Amino acid sequence: MSDVSHHARIVNTLEELFAAVTLSTKALSNHVNHQLATLPVAGIAADKQRESSLRKSLYPSIEKVLLESQFCSGAGFASHLATENLAQPYWFLEWWFKNPKSHQQSCLDLDQATQQRLDFSTFEWFKNTPDAEDVYLHGPYVDYVCTSAYTITAASPVVIAGNMVGVAAVDILVSRIEEALLPIVKQLSSKVIMTNSDNRVIFSSHLQYRTGSLVNIDVPYQTTQNGFCKIYFL
């Protein structure tokens, strides 16, 4: 098989991967939207029982994403409430991730003080999602909260009655993308560099380019349909 054919396989693999993750993120967002229509997030700050009920109602859809998607390493819903009715901002985060040691799902359990210090409302995947028409992709970045590994987050706004109440999000480990690409890359005579739209390296088989670094490669490249990835063959 020629290099050109392998190039097409790499692009197709990435298309399928991001399409699957986007679909999972949309499905999670739709489920959260449905749950919040009957159990609004607005009143949970002062009602621990309602907060517990909301967490229990969200878990099945989060678990479904983690069990059914081979690419998703973490998933959940994040909301940040800051209104005049609250003495201080309130963070709500229901987040589960695949635990590589136990091969089970683990819950990220953070109290309000920790979430306030963490302040995920400043994270790119949270604050930029309201501007996204569909699913917003952010990364690669090092996820110091859950995995300490390079990660890409897919996020979709949850909108109730015209107001954004939070973000449904799914994580993909960059190492999982590497696993999907390496069998094809090993058959190539050329090197492969994959970056995001801002030229930050996601994957590279070239020793000169490392994951997370910003690059300026002045050669033609291919892009994925969603516009998130550039693929260079050197």
**Which sequence spans correspond to the domains of the chain?**
12-175, 176-233
pLDDT-based confidence at 41, cuts 50/70/90? low
Residue 82's pLDDT is 66
pLDDT of residue 6: 82
Confidence at residue 91, expressed as pLDDT on a 0 to 100 scale: 81
Kindly state the DSSP code that residue 205 receives in the 8-state scheme: S
Look at the domain 12-175 and name its fold.
Beta-Lactamase (3.30.450)
pLDDT digits (tens, 9 = 90+) for 125-178: 988 887 777 899 999 999 988 888 999 999 999 988 887 889 999 999 999 999
Residue 120's pLDDT band, with cuts at 50, 70 and 90, is: confident
Helices assigned H by DSSP within the chain: 3-38, 48-68, 112-118, 124-127, 174-185
Paired tokens of 150: 């390079």
Alpha-carbon distances, residue 230 vs 67, 82, 159, 194 (angstroms): 29, 38, 31, 6
| pLDDT for the residue 27 | 94
The pLDDT value given to residue 109: 73
pTM (2 d.p.): 0.89
Per-residue pLDDT reduced to its tens digit, 185-220: 999 889 999 999 999 999 999 999 999 999 999 989
Say what the pLDDT of residue 113 is: 67
Q: Are 228 and 18 in contact (CB under 8 A)?
A: yes
What is the identity of the amino acid at 147? Answer: T
